[in-house]
A and B are shown apart, each in its own frame.
Chain A
Amino acid sequence: MAEVRPTSPLEVQEAVRLHPRLRPKGAGTKPALSAPREGEVVLDLSGLRGLLQYEPEEFVFTAYAGTPVKEVEEALRAHGQYLPFHPPLAGRGATLGGTVAAGLSGPMRERFGGLRDFLLGVRFVDGEGRLVRGGGQVVKNAAGFPFHRLMVGSLGAFGIMVELSFKVFPYPRATRTLRVALGNLAGALAALERLRGLPLDLLALDLIPPATLEIRLGGFPESLEGRLKRLRELLGREGEALLEDEAHWEGVRDLSFLEGSPIWVKVPSTPARIPALEGLPLGPRRYLSGGELLYAGVDPEGLRALRGAGLPHLVLKGAEEALFPPPPPAFFGKVKAALDPRGRLPLG
């Protein structure tokens, strides 16, 4: 299989102009998205890496798109900061570009929002090989068309990202996790909905079906005990408190609970949709962010069931057809035609 490995934006531009069909790849942690189809040349972006700018006091960094999330997070951590949307698969090598293109957020998205809330700017090479900038490098900006937001979940459709700017936040000084079993799905859902509506500032609020909630708190060590106590009172259960919870949540965000499943999917959800989802033949799974985001492991039958039920989803691993449903032609198709008129890039 043909593969190009550019190490500069200019080389990305050259590659795009040279090859009629390309498939961008970061680290390949979402193979369903990055594996080349017939006739495609792989554009491996792992050589375009490195932090370009990071000013802790500005809450902003800019890095090449092929930079591993982990590398960025180490730099942030040295200044007590983090990417609050908690990009998944960081431990497996996921890159910034792959994370944005796949549109993925992890368990801690509950507190401040997802990827779309933290991406500030992009430089990308469009389907004609032109280098285009959208957004900026400051935490607030409303100038021009927001091409950076167009990249979220784009799967490379509009261009190859070469550089990305993100907003970051201070990392909580301490964290605690409460794990509570609630008997049955109905009970767990009721508790979930209750917690969602309260101003508890939870870092993470996950449902592991049928009936377990995992709730993560972050803040001052002095305040956490009181908040944990309040949480227990609200739920009317003691549960189990994890004081050293870091490793646990790193496992969650690397989707280790999907290990062994042939197909990995992301499904946008809502609490109201959970009972229906629970009626499908899905494998290991976890609802993140108060029930808004499901990562599930399925087999081909489960995937057919999702499709049959008309539920939108994205396959990260294990199937050819990654995105369901396809994006709306009236809007998507025109933007695609504007930025990739020759159809060199994936999708559409």
Chain B
Amino acid sequence: MGFLEELKALFPPGRVLTREAALAPYESDALTAYRRRPLAVVLPERKKEVVEAVRLCHRHGVPFVARGSGTSLSGGSLPVEGGIVLALNRMNRILRLDPRAKIAVVEPGVVNLEVSRQAAPYGLYYAPDPSSQPISTLGGNVAFNSGGAHCLKYGMTAGHVLGLEVVTPTGEVVRLGGESLEGVGPDLAGFFVGTEGLLGVALEITLRLLPRPEAYHTLLAAYGSLEAAGNAVSQVIRSGLLPGAMEIMDRLAIEAAEAAVGAGYPQAEVLLIVELEGPKEEVEEEAKLLAQVIEESGALEVRIAQSEAERQAIWKGRKAAFSAVGRLSPDYIVQDGVVPRSRLGEALKEIGRLSQEYGLRVANVFHAGDGNLHPLVLYDGKKPGELERAEELAGEILRLCVRLGGSLTGEHGIGVEKKAYMPEMFAPEDLLAMERVKEALDPRGLANRGKVLPEGVVDPRLEGAHG
């Protein structure tokens, strides 16, 4: 029996897709510039099915890619030629939600927002909130160590994952971490988070939940320039405040958001959103200080949400910004570089210059509190050469981030998109260490083959040195 026959024998009819039309939706993720047809797509509903499929792949040397909702913006869930896709959306049960322990145990296909929804009656929520939270899955969030608007204060996904059950690429099932906030021995669960599916497939995820903040204070300030808004962010930090979120949108992003969801934003070059959260007495005091700082920062207009509805309206525009930019341009690339906060101004100025040089519009929406830029490079894929130009521009932005002491990615992962830039950020020995770990856990190179690690890293001289 060949691989496909064996695979089909593992699943009930209808859960192994092989016909072209059925495969088409899985050919790419949200980075649609890359497409590849998988050999088959399987739709597991149980852990056991995933494990058996992985074991079969291991036996036959067939590569596999785990996939949640396919919202990766870096080609992370792009299929591998001749490989299969493990589409995990049907594994979407919250297995346990324990409000007293403040944890949720979930299957990997559970959608991020669903956890907070289920936890809400207990006054709890799941803190990491990528803008894709209404659709992206926890398996995808774990693989990418996803972030969101609240990372400065609450950290990324890695801090919120207490335990994992994982099937390694050779088909072994292991438990990493546990149910307590604390562990002993190496933090293997923490290490797995962010490895982009290269070290195995997450089968079950234990999340920490937090009490929902009691009070919010959400402020929207308009500025005449990105520089002025950037300075305001620095002043907020210098004042000793620790906001839950600080977000910036430029004119192009504001226009897009307005057109898409009619958030009612003021007409301005730049908008800054600052949100304080915590116990009400504390937020009241912080709000006084924030008002003073923002006043001194030269804001042209300031609005403060007076109700939950007004707060939601402010966030609606911000959260819709990415998809809204789709209205301004047929195609766009979202970049995700990070720079030290104090170098935001410099970075944005250079991005502006690059935009001119390449003749392509760039919209900026970003997590200003943690220096995480999201330049959206607008292009038209139907115009010959424009995609290539957009990719080059995006690449220049990544180099810029690394040069300024930052990172290639704050939350979207390396995927296929940025792997060629890894050597800009990491030395050969760093990449070699990643290679060696990958090889030890996945000797046949089957799990998400071709992602993250750039080709040809392994310098033969280095290889010889330890042999």
CA distance A73 to B190 in the complex (A): 25
CA distance A331 to B173 in the complex (A): 9
> A157 to chain B: which residues have CB within 8 Å?
186
CB-based contact A266/B123 at 8 Å:
no
User: Which of B9-17, B55-63, B275-283, B353-361 participates in binding chain A?
Assistant: B275-283
Q: Is A321 an interface residue (CB 8 A)?
A: no
CB-based contact B190/A152 at 8 Å:
yes
**B450 CB to closest chain A CB, in angstroms?**
16
> B295 to chain A: which residues have CB within 8 Å?
none
> B175 to chain A: which residues have CB within 8 Å?
328
CA distance A326 to B184 in the complex (A): 10
CB-based contact A334/B440 at 8 Å:
yes
CB-based contact B174/A58 at 8 Å:
no
**A334 CB to closest chain B CB, in angstroms?**
4
> B262 to chain A: which residues have CB within 8 Å?
none
Contact with B along A158-179 (1 / 0, CB 8 A): 1000000000011001000000
**A327 CB to closest chain B CB, in angstroms?**
5
Q: Is A289 an interface residue (CB 8 A)?
A: yes
CB-based contact B433/A137 at 8 Å:
no
> A266 to chain B: which residues have CB within 8 Å?
182, 184
Residue of B nearest to A223 (CB): B281
Q: Is A309 an interface residue (CB 8 A)?
A: no
> A170 to chain B: which residues have CB within 8 Å?
240-242
Report A330-348 residues with CB < 8 Å from chain B CB: 330-332, 334-335, 337-339, 341
> B3 to chain A: which residues have CB within 8 Å?
none
Q: Is A130 an interface residue (CB 8 A)?
A: yes
> A271 to chain B: which residues have CB within 8 Å?
100-101
CB-based contact A292/B436 at 8 Å:
no
CA distance A158 to B188 in the complex (A): 12
CB-based contact A140/B156 at 8 Å:
yes
> B182 to chain A: which residues have CB within 8 Å?
105, 114, 266, 268-269, 289, 292-293
Q: Is A250 an interface residue (CB 8 A)?
A: no
CB-based contact A197/B190 at 8 Å:
no
**B422 CB to closest chain A CB, in angstroms?**
7
Q: Is A136 an interface residue (CB 8 A)?
A: yes
Q: Which one of A128, A144, A226 lies within 8 Å of B425 (CB-CB)?
A: A144
CB-based contact A138/B186 at 8 Å:
no
CA distance A230 to B123 in the complex (A): 18
Contact with B along A54-69 (1 / 0, CB 8 A): 0101111000000000
Q: Is B225 an interface residue (CB 8 A)?
A: no
Summed over the interface, the residue pairs from A and B with CB atoms below 8 Å come to a total of 284
Q: Which of A140, A200, A272 has the most CB of B within 10 A?
A: A140
Q: Which of A144, A198, A226, A227 has the most CB of B within 10 A?
A: A144
Q: Is A155 an interface residue (CB 8 A)?
A: yes
Q: Is A210 an interface residue (CB 8 A)?
A: no
> B146 to chain A: which residues have CB within 8 Å?
142
Q: Is A50 an interface residue (CB 8 A)?
A: no
Q: Bin the interface of chain B by size.
A: 35 or more
> A220 to chain B: which residues have CB within 8 Å?
282, 285-286
Q: Is the interface of A mostly helix, strand, loop or mixed?
A: mixed
CA distance A227 to B285 in the complex (A): 12
Q: Is B131 an interface residue (CB 8 A)?
A: no
> B123 to chain A: which residues have CB within 8 Å?
197-199
CB-based contact A270/B186 at 8 Å:
no
Q: Is B137 an interface residue (CB 8 A)?
A: no
> A323 to chain B: which residues have CB within 8 Å?
184-185
CB-based contact B430/A144 at 8 Å:
yes
Q: Is B411 an interface residue (CB 8 A)?
A: yes
> A270 to chain B: which residues have CB within 8 Å?
101, 179-180
> B447 to chain A: which residues have CB within 8 Å?
none
> A335 to chain B: which residues have CB within 8 Å?
188, 191, 437, 440-441
Given A199-B211, A220-B282, are A143 and B437 also a contact pair (CB < 8 Å)?
no
**B237 CB to closest chain A CB, in angstroms?**
6
CA distance A154 to B191 in the complex (A): 11
Q: Is B372 an interface residue (CB 8 A)?
A: yes
**B215 CB to closest chain A CB, in angstroms?**
8
> A312 to chain B: which residues have CB within 8 Å?
178, 183-185
Q: Is A214 an interface residue (CB 8 A)?
A: no
Q: Is A131 an interface residue (CB 8 A)?
A: yes
CB-based contact A132/B156 at 8 Å:
no
CB-based contact A142/B413 at 8 Å:
yes
CB-based contact B186/A158 at 8 Å:
yes
CB-based contact B240/A143 at 8 Å:
no
> B172 to chain A: which residues have CB within 8 Å?
330-331
Report B102-152 residues with CB < 8 Å from chain A CB: 102, 122-124, 144-147, 151-152
> B266 to chain A: which residues have CB within 8 Å?
none
Residue of A nearest to B155 (CB): A117
> B405 to chain A: which residues have CB within 8 Å?
137-138
Q: Is A126 an interface residue (CB 8 A)?
A: yes
Q: Is A261 an interface residue (CB 8 A)?
A: no
CB-based contact A199/B213 at 8 Å:
yes
CB-based contact B158/A116 at 8 Å:
yes
> B370 to chain A: which residues have CB within 8 Å?
138-140
CB-based contact A136/B279 at 8 Å:
no
Contact with A along B63-78 (1 / 0, CB 8 A): 0000000000000000
Contact with B along A85-109 (1 / 0, CB 8 A): 0000000000000000001010001
Q: Is B427 an interface residue (CB 8 A)?
A: yes
CA distance A191 to B371 in the complex (A): 40
**A117 CB to closest chain B CB, in angstroms?**
4
**B281 CB to closest chain A CB, in angstroms?**
4
CA distance A105 to B180 in the complex (A): 13
Q: Which one of B155, B180, B407 lies within 8 Å of A268 (CB-CB)?
A: B180
Q: Which one of A149, A201, A293 lies within 8 Å of B279 (CB-CB)?
A: A201
CB-based contact B433/A327 at 8 Å:
no
> A331 to chain B: which residues have CB within 8 Å?
166, 168, 172, 174, 176, 188, 441
Q: Is B340 an interface residue (CB 8 A)?
A: yes
Q: Is B181 an interface residue (CB 8 A)?
A: yes
Q: Which of B102, B178, B427, B439 has the most CB of A within 10 A?
A: B102
**A57 CB to closest chain B CB, in angstroms?**
6
30 sampled A-B residue pairs with Cβ under 8 A: A57-B342, A58-B340, A126-B433, A138-B339, A139-B370, A140-B152, A140-B156, A140-B407, A141-B407, A142-B146, A142-B407, A142-B411, A142-B413, A144-B430, A144-B434, A145-B194, A146-B190, A146-B194, A193-B100, A199-B214, A223-B281, A223-B285, A268-B178, A269-B182, A272-B101, A313-B184, A330-B168, A330-B172, A331-B172, A331-B188
Going nearest first, the 4 A-B pairs with the smallest beta carbon separation are: A149-B190, A220-B285, A338-B440, A223-B281
